Amino acid sequence: MQTSRKGKFQIGLLLLPGLLIFGIFTVYPIIKLFVMSFFEWDFGSISGQKFIGLENYKEVIQDSYFRTAFINSIVYTFVTVPGQMILGFLTAFLIHQVTRFKVGYRVLYYLPVITSWVIASLVFKYVFNTEGLLNCFLVNVIHVTAKNIRWLDTRWSGLWISMFLGIWKGIGWNMVVFLAALQTVPTDLYEAAAIDGANALEKLFHVTLPCIKGTILFALVMLTIGGFNVFTSIKMITGGEPGHKTDVVLTWMYYKAFSTGAFGYAAALSFIITVVLAALALVQFRMMRQKS
């Protein structure tokens, strides 16, 4: 019994540094942020804060700019998540079929994933800017239009460019995840399906996809969270312009906190999005369970 207690004590000592770091840099900031959401913070005054209850939450819900940013986040997620998953799965499926240069194909498709978001966003901004590479090609090379197209000056064109970047960068990650899942599908199932006369498409829908359903759910949840957390590409490409019409939740939160000093508003907004994402993930899990 004494040895068991000693072992537990040693395990506790080993876990203590990690728990302390997690508590200081994760748990405490979350609690502090939650408390902050009930106050009106003013770092320039002596008192520094004023308790206002749920006023920050009411302001967020009633804010038209927040609703625009929230709709933009939803559109971004609903476009980029299926785009990444479908193209990533198709890429993984094709690489899984080849017998040569598999490693080379994996590296090639994974390069966008390890490319810096800042660098990739700046490249896309350079290409689609009013005086950018695309307009130069359209006006001076193939003469499709006589004047430059302002790709980044409207809400939906700016968002579509950011969404295209998100899909392009996410294909490689999905390819790796789905390729690992495809390698776990038993070959016996394919042989049995072939004996029953199943064609390639029937094998895909009745053998492959059901066997990797857990991986599909994992990718769906992770990409949905990532879609709502998009920040760098929007900030670097459009900056929320024109008139905050291309802002998403995180860029609008950043603006309110660091440009206007409304830290209580930003804290309340973060917890509203946390609740939305938790509910969305729960719905996704339940939908996948009902289909099983």
Tell me the mean pLDDT in the region 214-223.
89
Residue 174 lies in a domain: yes
Q: Tell me if 73 is assigned to some domain.
A: yes
Answer yes or no: is 51 within a domain: no
Residue 45 lies in a domain: no
Q: Where are the beta strands (DSSP E) in 25-111?
A: 39-41, 49-51
Q: Is residue 215 part of a domain?
A: yes
Whether the Cβ atoms of residue 161 and residue 77 lie closer than 8 Å to each other = no
Q: Is residue 263 part of a domain?
A: yes
* Domain count of the fold of the chain: 1
Domain that holds residue 281: 56-291
- Residue 24 within a domain: no
CATH of the domain at 228: 1.10.3720.10
Confidence at residue 75, expressed as pLDDT on a 0 to 100 scale: 96
Beta pairing, strands 49-51 & 39-41: antiparallel
Residue 147: burial class (beta carbons within 10 Å; 0-12, 13-18, 19+): exposed
Q: Is 99's pLDDT higher than 60? A: yes
CB 213, CB 292: distance < 8 Å: yes
pLDDT of residue 1: 45
Higher pLDDT, 132 or 254: 254
Looking up tokens 């759910």, which residue turns up?
A: 217
Give φ, ψ of 122 to 5 degrees. Answer: -65, -35
CA proximity to 161, closest of 131, 138, 127: 127
Q: Does 198 score more than 90 pLDDT?
A: no
Residue 14 forms part of a structural domain: no
